Amino acid sequence: MKDSNGIVVGPFYAGNLSIPEGTVVLSVGAEVVALPIDVDGFPMGHPDILFESTDCTGPPLVHDVTGGTGRSLLTGFGVGLVNTTVVYATGPESTKTVNSRLTFPTVGCGGFLGGCCNQNTQILPVQTAAAFDLSTFGLVAPFHLEGP
């Protein structure tokens, strides 16, 4: 997959039933992150960021984005986008009691990535949340495929 300036976005994988457009794989530091992609960009909704605390403090978590199938060969899966920040799952899955979550989009909230904190207790399979700024890749839509 390449952007409109011919910059390589990453390897493209089609045929994902949950993401009909396709998936592209990006290297983010030492990790590999899979993101949904289409010709217009990265069609990701807002992430569901969870916390064990009741006030959205402490390590951010994301709900099991592997659909209960366990980890794949990739170390991260894009689970949401806030402005240009991609939030993705990393590390092993574990079941935890989460007591608060951030909601997006919001105005005037000061939580992680500007989200508003809401109390909501659930027991869920979660993974640690990590984030990176997608704009640092300098990619410009529209995107297109090139291949043999």
Asked whether residue 142 is domain-assigned, the answer is no
Asked whether residue 6 is domain-assigned, the answer is no
User: CA 91, CA 141: separation in Å to the nearest integer?
Assistant: 30
Mean pLDDT (the chain) is 80
Asked whether residue 102 is domain-assigned, the answer is yes
Query: What does the pLDDT look like over 72-127, one tens digit per residue?
Result: 444 566 678 888 888 888 888 899 999 998 887 666 676 666 678 889 899 999 98
Least confident of 8-12, 107-111, 140-144: 107-111
Asked whether residue 4 is domain-assigned, the answer is no
Count structural domains, the chain.
1
Asked whether residue 86 is domain-assigned, the answer is yes
Asked whether residue 42 is domain-assigned, the answer is yes
Q: How would you class 15 by CB atoms within 10 Å of its CB: exposed for 0-12, middle for 13-18, buried for 19 or more?
A: exposed
Asked whether residue 85 is domain-assigned, the answer is yes
Asked whether residue 148 is domain-assigned, the answer is no
What residue numbers bound the domain in which 89 lies? 12-137
